[in-house]
Structure 1
Amino acid sequence: MMIHSRPEMIHTHQTAPTQFVEANGIRFAYRRFGKPGGVPLVFNQHFTGTIDHWDPGVTDGLAATREVILFNNAGISNSSGEVPTTFEEMGANAIAFLNALGLKQVDVLGFSIGGFVAQEITLQAPELVRRLVLVGTGPRGGQNMATLTPEAQQIFGATYKVPEEIWLKVHFTDSEASQAAGREFLKRFLRRTENRDPEVNEKVAPAQIEAIGKWGVQREGSYEYLKTILQPTLVINGDNDVIIYSINSWILQQNIPNAQLIIYPDANHGSQYQYPERFVGHVSMFLSE
């Protein structure tokens, strides 16, 4: 017997079904849930991450007041196609995905390299983007961004008895409080067990690293493009991001005309996962202004 979800049934991060839509010759996997109506919030994911690498504490928190859309861009997990080696192409694919859903206006959130994609969406289709949230990310040609930072190389190059514990190093500082928050995050992160996304294949990381190299190279006037992002923008990071150094969030805020910056204390790359309630409060307030 097939059970159809009733229109009045509100899904959560745990229960939202994975759906597919075709665009640009790519079959995109996505999930939509939360409060329908209004402008949806579209999430763009970090290095080697899938839909299931988002924190339900963040997605469900934001879904209480708006619809959220999580998706795997081309070549990621259960989306078809190849991962492009430029963020411009990743942005174009994301726009094709949003157009295929028939969306006329969205708010865009990008985390880490998802923040590069979010900037590209905004640059290539400014009429599509109402507001922009950039988390743990940086500009083209930012500081120490042409390669993985030494800390990131060490973290991603190490082996972990429990594979998921890599995220305790990527997203959290070594302090007792931050690591405790990290362990709470891992519990939330692993809670969805049914219809969970497959992890990415071995082609993803090299393609994304190549794209990072092109994005991160410093040129004269690297930050000029940021002045053309006119959307209200919220920039959030931890005070000790070792993956994309925190100074890059300041550079974003200084160059995007209508940007504000929030820095969370004793926090690394995943500051939003260390302080999910605080993050949800700040983002919700910003999006409803």
Structure 2
Amino acid sequence: MTTYTHQTAPTQFVEATGIRFAYRRFGKTGSVPIVMNIHFRGTMDHWDPVITDGLAERREVIMFDNAGVGASSGEVPPTFPDMARDAIAFIKALGISKADILGYSIGGKIAQEIAVQAPDLVRKLVLVGTGPRGADTAASKAAEIFSATYDPPEHLWIAAHFSASPAGRAAGLAYLERKHRRRDRSPEVSEASAATQYQAIALSNKKVDGVLDYLSEIHQPALVVHGHNDLIIPTVNGFTLQQHLPNAQLIIFPDSSHAPFYQYPETFIREVSAFLDQEKWA
């Protein structure tokens, strides 16, 4: 029997609600799979292979391109609840009745909406570098970072995801090298799709009365992970999630920004594996 990895897992397709979803799945079967929801402008090829292969040693990992992203068909919908609706359709199309959901950045916002819309589908949540509806973005440098020019352009991802320290920059360069090892990659997110994602971010972050009330409905165990100085979704949002989710714990990684798990992959894998394996959280 062939054992696939992040680099070798074949791209497969499944249809649901008129969308042809591209996905890859690999790892140890027989346990609850973990479904990965990626960041703004990301495809399944933006995940760090160290993370996905590390998680796959203990459970099945499923990466996918949501509607209108990468190799999937359709259009990016205008809101995170709509993106969650598409993700739920994808998961159910695979015949999965229970999953752990990992969401990174806007993928974390989508993960929360999946838990709200389909609570019976979700066993546990891992929320990385993300925030709630009505997120506090006062200290965010996202607009500045994403509008700047980089040489080479790929260094945008270092500025957006890693701390500016020598260790952070070294971790960012190492991530870029790992990310490009796979050759048959999903197409990059189009400017039109990115613009719709950005509109969804702005809509989600609006401040309205009771904007955090929905968090009390998410009773699944949640592990919230943040960098100590997240320049994209400020770290205070990790505290907000932990305080308002009924069953959450919080980890803050030192000397890190928006991608703390890429800067400390071994520690992240150890902490997440322990969290997912804890029977008392089941």
Q: What is the TM-score with the length of structure 1 in the denominator?
A: 0.95
In the TM superposition, what is the alpha-carbon distance from 1:16 to its structure 2 partner? 0.4
**Paired AA for residue 139 in structure 1:** P
Whole-angstrom distance in 2 between the partners of 1:68 and 1:49: 17
Runs ≥4 residues deviating over 2 A: none
Which residue number in structure 2 is paired with residue 256 of structure 1? 245
**Paired AA for residue 99 in structure 2:** V
Three-state SS of the structure 2 residue aligned to 1:28 is strand
Three-state SS of the structure 2 residue aligned to 1:127 is coil
- Alignment of 1:281 with 2:274, yes or no, is no
Which residue number in structure 1 is paired with residue 163 of structure 2? 173
Match of residue 156, structure 1, among 143, 146, 150: 146
Match of residue 265, structure 1, among 222, 234, 254: 254
Which residue number in structure 2 is paired with residue 36 of structure 1? 29
Which residue number in structure 1 is paired with residue 203 of structure 2? 214
In the TM superposition, what is the alpha-carbon distance from 1:182 to its structure 2 partner? 1.1
**Paired AA for residue 78 in structure 2:** T
The change in CA–CA distance for 1:196 and 1:168 in structure 2 (over 3 A counts) is same
Aligned-pair identity (%) = 57
Which residue number in structure 1 is paired with residue 112 of structure 2? 119
Which residue number in structure 2 is paired with residue 240 of structure 1? 229
Three-state SS of the structure 1 residue aligned to 2:102 is strand
Gaps of 5+ in 2: none
- Alignment of 1:140 with 2:129, yes or no, is no
Which residue number in structure 1 is paired with residue 178 of structure 2? 188
**Paired AA for residue 45 in structure 1:** I
Whole-angstrom distance in 2 between the partners of 1:62 and 1:107: 12
**Paired AA for residue 197 in structure 1:** S
Whole-angstrom distance in 2 between the partners of 1:159 and 1:190: 21
In the TM superposition, what is the alpha-carbon distance from 1:141 to its structure 2 partner? 0.5
1:218-237 Cα offsets, whole Å, 9 max, x none, are 11211111011000000001
Gaps of 5+ in 1: 1-7
Whole-angstrom distance in 1 between the partners of 2:228 and 2:125: 21
In the TM superposition, what is the alpha-carbon distance from 1:150 to its structure 2 partner? 5.2
In the TM superposition, what is the alpha-carbon distance from 1:79 to its structure 2 partner? 0.3
Match of residue 78, structure 1, among 71, 75, 78: 71
Q: What is the TM-score with the length of structure 2 in the denominator?
A: 0.97
Whole-angstrom distance in 1 between the partners of 2:227 and 2:191: 29
Instruction: Number of aligned residue pairs: give it.
Output: 278
- Alignment of 1:100 with 2:93, yes or no, is yes
Asked if 1 retains the 8 angstrom alpha-carbon contact of 2:140 and 2:234, the reply is no
Whole-angstrom distance in 1 between the partners of 2:216 and 2:237: 15
Three-state SS of the structure 1 residue aligned to 2:268 is helix
1:152-201 Cα offsets, whole Å, 9 max, x none, are 111111122222111110111111111111111111111112x1111111
* RMSD between superposed Cα atoms in Å: 0.9
Which residue number in structure 1 is paired with residue 213 of structure 2? 224
1:128-155 Cα offsets, whole Å, 9 max, x none, are 000000000000012127xxx6511111
**Paired AA for residue 124 in structure 1:** Q
